A = this chain, B = another copy of it.
Amino acid sequence: MTPMDLRGVFAPIPTPFDRNDQLDESRLRSACARWAASSLRGLVVLGSTGEAVLLDEDESDRVVAVAREIWPAGRPFIVGTGRESTAATILATRRAGALGADAVLVRTPGFYKSQMNTDVFVRHYTSVADASPVPVLLDNFTAVTGVNLPPAAVTKLAAHPNIVGVKESSGDVAQIADFVKGSRAGFNVLAGSSTTFYSALGVGAVGGVLALSCVLPDACVRVFELTRAGNHAQASALQMRLMPIAKLVGSMHGIAGLKASLKLVGCDVGGPRSPLAPVSDATVAVLREALVSFEEVALV
């Protein structure tokens, strides 16, 4: 297989629900069209930000099908297919491939934390990559899984011809550097934390899968472009201006915060699915304030 180039900014999109907590395909179409009109390089559906663990398999397939229909060919369309069991991950991966995914993003299993180690990860991902019809991206999201994918595992897995990259979702820039250093040229190390995107690019990340980019796609892309152009002072300054929103939308208020922010910028994707709860009015006010402070956003 030929290597895949994933340079740029990818939006890990939330899954829209209607008032009855049901998948809202219409809102999904509108939102995808909006993101398609931005400078985003690509889309990630059914990631952790997509509430994938709150969807059943049929809903998952519908999300993929609807988004794929809207999203333009030629810009990477990536589907999250991680499950706790290797077999279920393979099934989801094959279905994603059949539905038009350009690549899959596979979160580490993490339920049985004490039993997860380099060997287990290497076996799991090798099985998935062997069986996958499309290239595979590793996904290390310690804040939700409670486990860490060790650099040694990434180094081994980067040698697999069907594993084309890794997303590191913590803000641990040293680990991103470790992943870069331990993998072959052309292996795509992607930042998963909006607060340290500029820093990640500085140590070899080729792009990012950034929740913030669902709300402010062009600003995130500008950080990327400025850095690529060697304009570090402006890139860093823009990153610093984005910091407060990145924190609010990301770790602090989670998916509910992201969905509330999207509504503020005119993209209503509903609220999160239960047991997740919408943010309070006070939090909406804080988000509004942060977005207004950022200046370039006209709020609805």
CA distance A172 to B247 in the complex (A): 14
A120 touching B276 in the complex, CB below 8 Å, given contacts A112-B144, A199-B202, A230-B232: yes
CA distance A233 to B232 in the complex (A): 10
Question: Do the beta carbons of A243 and B181 come within 8 Å of each other?
Answer: yes
CA distance A252 to B251 in the complex (A): 27
CA distance A193 to B86 in the complex (A): 28
226-275 of chain A: CB within 8 A of chain B: 230, 232-233, 236, 239-240, 243-244, 247, 251-252, 254-256, 273-275
CA distance A198 to B233 in the complex (A): 14
Option from B123, B143, B232 in Cβ contact (under 8 Å) with A275: B123
A275 touching B56 in the complex, CB below 8 Å, given contacts A144-B112, A174-B171, A199-B203: no
Instruction: Give the shortest distance, in Å, between A199 (CB) and chain B (any CB).
Output: 4
Option from B109, B199, B277 in Cβ contact (under 8 Å) with A173: B199
Option from B178, B196, B275 in Cβ contact (under 8 Å) with A174: B196
> Does A124 have its Cβ within 8 Å of any Cβ on chain B?
yes
CA distance A54 to B143 in the complex (A): 21
> Does A60 have its Cβ within 8 Å of any Cβ on chain B?
no
Option from B54, B114, B233, B236 in Cβ contact (under 8 Å) with A254: B114
> Does A153 have its Cβ within 8 Å of any Cβ on chain B?
no
- Contact partners of A56 in chain B: CB under 8 A: 88
Option from B88, B174, B230 in Cβ contact (under 8 Å) with A193: B174
- Contact partners of A243 in chain B: CB under 8 A: 174, 177-178, 181
Question: Do the beta carbons of B275 and A85 come within 8 Å of each other?
Answer: yes
Question: Do the beta carbons of A180 and B256 come within 8 Å of each other?
Answer: no
Question: Do the beta carbons of A274 and B115 come within 8 Å of each other?
Answer: no
- Contact partners of A289 in chain B: CB under 8 A: none
CA distance A56 to B143 in the complex (A): 25
Instruction: Give the shortest distance, in Å, between A33 (CB) and chain B (any CB).
Output: 27
> Does A21 have its Cβ within 8 Å of any Cβ on chain B?
yes
Question: Do the beta carbons of A180 and B111 come within 8 Å of each other?
Answer: no
Instruction: Give the shortest distance, in Å, between A298 (CB) and chain B (any CB).
Output: 25
CA distance A276 to B115 in the complex (A): 7
- Contact partners of A247 in chain B: CB under 8 A: 174
Question: Do the beta carbons of B112 and A203 come within 8 Å of each other?
Answer: no
Instruction: Give the shortest distance, in Å, between A59 (CB) and chain B (any CB).
Output: 10
CA distance A48 to B193 in the complex (A): 30
- Contact partners of A120 in chain B: CB under 8 A: 275-277
Per-position 1/0 for A102-137, Cβ under 8 A of B: 000000010111111001110110010000000000
